[in-house]
Amino acid sequence: MIKIVEESNKKEMATRVNGADCFYSYSKNSSFQRNAIDAAKELIKEAVFSKLDIACLSSSNTFRVTDLGCSMGPNTFLAVQNILEAVENKYRTQWRNSEVPDFQVFFSDQAANDFNELFQSLPPDRNYFAMGVPGSFYSRLFPKAHLHFVYSSFSLQCLSKVPEEVLDRNSPAWNKGRAHYSNSAHQVVEAYSAQYARDMGCFLNARAQEIVEGGLMAFVVPGRPNGTPHAQNYYNMTLDLFGSCLLDMAKKGVIAEDKVDSFNLPMYNASLDEVEAIVKYNGCFSIERMENLPQEKLQPNVFRSTVRAGMENIVRANFGEDILDEFFDSLNKKYEESTSVLESVTAVSLFVLLKRHSK
């Protein structure tokens, strides 16, 4: 049992973003993710105004919101405030005789997240009671029928684990020499797709128990337009550069080739068609809105710091501290050299709004 917990903690530490004490901290280098939150603001406002069922409050005078994959701020505070402002506006305009409820916000992320930093940077003028909830959102985190609004941004592209098949040397899906799936054999793509479907199924099953009837869930996630080949998706193309840098370093003898062969990024960028199919199969939610949000691509001068803030720990955990500067310098150079190609493809985030069915 102790060994399992230790391995889980190591995995979480490897995938967590950089904290505030780091030059490449997520807090200082996450404007790219913030753009997606800004793009979804009006959609959240419309969703609350037209789709939120006030009856879902029942006899409670507390409105409960969670941000799943909150990280350390400040983006989570912006996302939460957008939701609460929309709810408060709905009360004041549609139910003028109703008292605005208390707001309780649950900031949730994996246990390795720096919750100390998160709570030290809470807005002093906030109009809600804040709590932290550590744990994986692929399992239950809250009591039954407890939440009124669930939100997540730029988190659900992260898988619970790398598909086992791509690490098995005896499997047709063994992903030798690559760190991602998009330019790999179809067996590798299918393994990643299947893992994503399993994870999303777990995510929806957990939320179906935690969200009240009539409650809403909205998430924004990097994705790909329907029908776009995996290899022609902006996010996947940048991750292919990631793997290419590792291969270059292996050829130079900086890292061992077998380490590259055994490393794969636990990330999958789905399309709206894929998400829709999984939601319908789950059957616990109605799809209220789904659309692609145009995403501004990273400029070369901010690419390095943004990607390093989010992925430094996974490189360190798998290949050591000594290669970090060389690796991210190489990655940034490849990105600059690929700018013209990357400009030719479309970058989108997926916006998905779901409503919990009545039982």
Q: How confident is the model at residue 358 (pLDDT cuts 50, 70, 90)?
A: confident
- Alpha helix stretches (DSSP H) within 211-323: 234-251, 257-261, 272-282, 300-319
Residue 76 CB: number of other CB atoms within 10 A?
24
Answer yes or no: is pLDDT of 229 > 80. yes
- Alpha helix stretches (DSSP H) within the chain: 2-15, 31-51, 75-94, 115-120, 186-210, 234-251, 257-261, 272-282, 300-319, 324-337, 339-343
Answer yes or no: is pLDDT of 294 > 70. yes
**331 close to 241: Cβ distance less than 8 angstroms:** yes
Task: Give the span between the Cα atoms of 143 and 158, in whole angstroms.
Answer: 24
**What was the pLDDT predicted at 1?**
41
Answer yes or no: is pLDDT of 19 > 90. no
- Average pLDDT of the residues of the chain: 89
Task: Out of 9-13, 137-141, 182-186, 230-234, pick the least confident.
Answer: 9-13
**What was the pLDDT predicted at 3?**
41
Answer yes or no: is pLDDT of 122 > 90. yes
pTM: 0.91
**What was the pLDDT predicted at 92?**
84
Q: Residue 109 — φ and ψ, nearest 5°?
A: -160, 175
**What was the pLDDT predicted at 304?**
82
What percentage of the chain exceeds 70 in pLDDT? 89
**What was the pLDDT predicted at 4?**
38
**What was the pLDDT predicted at 56?**
65
Of 100, 148, 128, 114, the residue nearest 20 (C-alpha): 114
Q: Domain of residue 19: give its range.
A: 2-356
Q: Output the six-digit token pair for 197.
A: 């479907």
What percentage of the chain exceeds 90 in pLDDT? 72
Task: Give the span between the Cα atoms of 129 and 168, in whole angstroms.
Answer: 47
- Please give the average per-residue pLDDT across 194-202, as a whole number: 98
**What was the pLDDT predicted at 47?**
94
Domain with 199 in it: what CATH number?
A: 3.40.50.150
CA dist 218 to 53, 136, 351, Å?
15, 18, 7
Q: How confident is the model at residue 93 (pLDDT cuts 50, 70, 90)?
A: confident
- What is Dmax (Cα atoms) for the chain? 71
Answer yes or no: is pLDDT of 193 > 70. yes
Task: Give the span between the Cα atoms of 305 and 303, in whole angstroms.
Answer: 6
Model pLDDT for residues 26-35, shown as the tens digit of each residue: 566 567 778 8
**What was the pLDDT predicted at 27?**
61
Q: Output the six-digit token pair for 356.
A: 């919990």
CA dist 188 to 37, 145, 172, 177, Å?
31, 38, 8, 12
- Please give the average per-residue pLDDT across 280-309, as a whole number: 91
Total residues belonging to the chain: 359
Domain count, the chain: 1
**What was the pLDDT predicted at 18?**
47
Q: Output the six-digit token pair for 28.
A: 């200082």
